[in-house]
Amino acid sequence: MGRRQWVPAPSPKGERRAKSWWIPWAMAATVLIAAAAHAAGGGVAPSASNVARIGSPAPDFTLRLLNGKSVTLSSLKGRPVVVTFWHSSCPHCQREAPVLDQVYQKYRGKGVVFLSVNVSWDHEAPARKFVEEYRLQFPVGRDADGRIGDLYGVEATPTTFFIGKDGKLRERQEGAPEDVKAIEAGLEQRINWMLAG
């Protein structure tokens, strides 16, 4: 069974011109909106070669932590790194946060590094409250201008990246399972995989 399709009747040339007067205006508006969006992002968009790809070196970044210090990803080469992007009002992030901290406590003695990145569309005050409420012990910073999220193509939270000891991106995980035991098991499986290789 096919779908019904609407086929417009042919129209005289004059009528077509009258209906299409808005096209140049729409194109101009699109260019202006794109320029404004580019300027709002600091004027520097990540190039296609710098966007995170599985199997490629993870794009380098420096994260300003909530405690005032900074950490640069490339300085952690030789250690497995778990980078998670989150938002304070995200229910999946709220469910995942205590599990992340528990797994961090278990693996930090084995050289695994956790970096927690609060996304640009959140605000600092609720982010700080989130960290205090869940008593997160691993490094937490804000991606205030959105550049780190852009490098990693983050559009939703939570999004977690697993970076091997060689500095290459091993896996990307979006969302979190409903069951906290499944969150824990998934994290440990990926971390053990990174530690083994």
- Please report, for the domain that includes residue 81, its CATH number: 3.40.30.10
The answer to whether 89 and 126 have CB atoms below 8 angstroms apart is yes
pLDDT on residue 13:
52
150-192, pLDDT tens digit by residue? 999 999 999 999 999 999 999 999 999 999 999 999 999 999 9
Cα gap 194→11, rounded to integer Å: 64
DSSP string, 53-94: -TTSBPPP-EEEBTTS-EEEGGGGTTS-EEEEEE-TT-HHHH
Phi, psi of 157 (to 5 degrees): -125, 150
pLDDT at position 197: 78
**Pair 53, 77 in one domain:** yes
Taking the CB of residue 159, how many other CB atoms lie within 10 A of it?
22
Per-residue b or e along 128-139, where b marks 16 or more CB atoms closer than 10 Å to that residue's CB: eebbeebebebb
Phi, psi of 103 (to 5 degrees): -70, -40
Query: According to the model, what pLDDT value does residue 15 have?
Result: 46
Q: Are residue 131 and residue 160 in the same domain, yes or no?
A: yes
Mean pLDDT of the region 40-45: 37
| Sheet containing strand 81-86, strands side by side | 140-142, 113-118, 81-86, 159-163, 169-174
Provide the β-strand partners of residue 169: 163
Q: Do 95 and 190 belong together in one domain?
A: yes
Q: Are residues 36 and 52 in the same domain?
A: no
pLDDT for res 19: 54
Residues 64 and 97 reside in one and the same domain: yes
| Segment 1-29, tens digit of pLDDT | 333 333 344 445 544 444 555 555 555 55
pLDDT surpasses 60 at 77: yes
- Tokens 């080469």 belong to residue: 77
Same domain? 57 vs 80: yes
Residue 91 lies in a domain: yes
Domain containing 31 equals: 11-40
Which has more pLDDT, 70 or 33?
A: 70
Q: What is the pLDDT of residues 91-142, one digit of tens each?
A: 999 999 999 999 999 999 999 999 999 999 999 999 999 999 999 999 999 9
Shared domain check, 189 and 113: yes
> Are residues 135 and 88 part of one domain?
yes
Of 168, 180, 162, 171, which is closest to residue 107 (Cα–Cα)?
162
Calculate what percentage of the chain has a pLDDT beyond 70: 75
User: Any alpha helices (H) in the chain, and if so which ranges?
Assistant: 13-19, 22-40, 91-107, 124-133, 147-151, 180-196
Mean pLDDT of 67-95: 97
pTM of the model: 0.75
- How high is the pLDDT of residue 86? 97
Whether the CB-CB separation of 171 and 162 falls below 8 Å is answered with yes
Domain count, the chain: 2
189 compared with 49, residue with greater pLDDT: 189
Q: Give pLDDT, residue 134.
A: 96
Q: Which of the residue ranges 10-14, 34-38, 82-86 would you say has the lowest mean pLDDT? A: 34-38
